[in-house]
Chains A and B, each alone.
Chain A
Amino acid sequence: MAWKWQAKKRNRIILTVVCFLITFFFFFPILWWFLCSLKPYGDIFHLPPIFIFKPTLTWYQVVLGGVFYQSTELAQTGAITGEGGGLYYSIPYLRDSTIIATVSTALVIAIASLAAYGLSRFNFRRRENLVFWILSTRMMPPIVAALPFYLMYLNIQNMFRSNPNMPTFLRNFQMIDTYHGIIILHTIMNLPLAILMLKSFFDDVPRELDEATLVDGGNRLHAFWIVLHYIRPGLAATAILSFIFSWNEFLLTLVLTKGGVRTMPVAASTFITAYGVEWGYLAALGSAAMVPVFIFILLVQQHLVRGLTLGAVKG
Chain B
Amino acid sequence: MSHPTRRLDPTIHQPTRLGILTAAAEAKRIDFVSLRDLLDVTDGNLSRHLTTLESAGYIAIEKTFEGRKPRTWISATAAGRKALAAEIAALREIVGDADGRPAPKRSPRTATG
Tell me whether A and B are bound partners.
no
